[in-house]
Amino acid sequence: MISAIAIDDEPLALAVIEQFCGRDGDISLKTFSDPVEGLAAVNRDRPVLVFLDVEMNGVSGIDVARTLPEGTFLIFTTAYAQFALDGFELNAVDFLHKPFSYQRFGVALQKVRTLIRLKSAAETAGKAGGEITVKSEYKSVSLSVSGIRYIEAMDNYSKIYMTGGDSVLTQMSLKEMSDLLPAGKFVRIHRSFIIPLDKVSRYSSRTVTLSCGVTLPVGRSYSADFRQSVGGHC
């Protein structure tokens, strides 16, 4: 069950969020029409998630967001799309433009759930293998190094595939990812792929199969480094 607080000066808007959370069935929600009372409840109860309007009777939701406890997941809900950039700069998980559908609401919640799973996985396994921190979905996410299956370049982004099936898309190049990862534990095998050496199941001069069953190509310009990393035996 995800604990949540919704702060909005429009009773109808709060009713919609309450209805959608009830349909979802996994959200424990409290609602507040007064932003001062709502913020006090957030600081007291420390919910996992906050739904926050941007304009509330002269009170700026942007200002309220800046005072939320660290680690709180934030979804902005507003009729003013021009505030989206401000919201994302505050590491909001998502920005729901009123009126929004239940389907769009569900997309935002799925982002939160993914981030919660990643945070939990990092807390559970990260201590053993170390952690890295990347920006994903406008939020800083700590990832367990030992939980990385492989990393794929996608235009100007990198997609990090994690143990358990989750993945993280971050606006970092593969070169930046390579610099961030611990030396000697990962190797770039292709212009599009970085792999952890401890998850190599079998390999040849042209392909690598990981313990998760995924087979990836080895690029010509990366084959020498890869051979050196695995001891020259390929």
Domains of the chain: 2-100 (3.40.50.2300), 114-229 (2.40.50.1020)
Which helix (H) or strand (E) covers residue 61, if one does?
helix 61-65
Q: Model-level pTM?
A: 0.58
Cα separation, 70 vs 46, whole angstroms: 10
| Strongest mean pLDDT among 110-114, 162-166, 186-190 | 186-190
pLDDT in tens, 16-33: 999 999 999 899 999 999
User: Quick one: tokens of 179?
Assistant: 């610099």
In 3D space, the residue among 70, 48, 45 whose CA is nearest the CA of residue 1 turns out to be 48
pLDDT for the residue numbered 141: 85
pLDDT for the residue numbered 152: 96
